[in-house]
């Protein structure tokens, strides 16, 4: 079968791409449009919690180098994170009951001292506490033991203490 050879500097048929370097097998996935590429980048970032590099073809950079004409034009951060929580539910009448939960939640605000961060913790972390006991006083200690964003591992939240 005859294939027409395209010059090395020709614009690719799919001039936009997503680069995924953190996977076991790094990949470059190409797209016909920037909009399709951007939507895919957000899906990939949300899928595993890792940032995704986006690039477009630039013929002025087509000679030499590892990029071979691809120019990075963005970094898409994940909007959600998957965390594993170790929860100690401490009850006045029932003792301590420990549980574990793995959930996908929105990424927390960066400033851990902010009201927004505390609101996020009550809305998304506190929501995973409890075992159904309603009598007496209770408190809950939650520790993040695994996360798709490594900086979150080890964070501890205390409710009702």
List pLDDT tens digits, range 23-73: 666 778 888 988 998 888 888 887 766 788 888 888 776 555 555 678 888
Reported pTM: 0.63
**What is the pLDDT of the chain when averaged over all its residues?**
84
Given CA atoms 54, 56, 58, 61 in this order, what sign does their dihedral have?
positive
Q: Per-residue DSSP letters for 72-89?
A: EEEEEPPSEEEEEEEEEE
Domain coordinates in residue numbering, the chain? 16-76, 80-159
Q: What is the pLDDT of residue 73?
A: 87
Q: How confident is the model at residue 144 (pLDDT cuts 50, 70, 90)?
A: very high
The reported pLDDT for the residue numbered 19 is 82
């Amino acid at each position: 079968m005859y294939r027409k050879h395209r010059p090395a500097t020709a614009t690719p048929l799919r001039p936009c791409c997503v680069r995924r370097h953190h996977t076991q097998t790094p990949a470059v996935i190409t797209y016909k449009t920037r909009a399709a590429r951007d939507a895919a980048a957000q899906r990939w970032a949300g899928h595993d919690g890792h940032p995704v590099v986006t690039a477009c073809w630039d013929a002025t950079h087509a000679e030499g180098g590892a990029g071979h004409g691809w120019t990075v034009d963005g970094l898409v951060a994940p909007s959600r994170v998957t965390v594993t929580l170790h929860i100690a539910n401490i009850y006045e009448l029932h003792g301590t009951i420990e549980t574990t939960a793995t959930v996908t939640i929105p990424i927390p605000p960066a400033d851990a001292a902010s009201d927004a961060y505390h609101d996020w913790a009550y809305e998304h972390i506190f929501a995973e506490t409890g075992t159904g006991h309603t009598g007496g006083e209770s408190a809950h200690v939650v520790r993040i033991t695994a996360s798709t964003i490594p900086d979150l591992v080890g964070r501890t939240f205390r409710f009702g203490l």
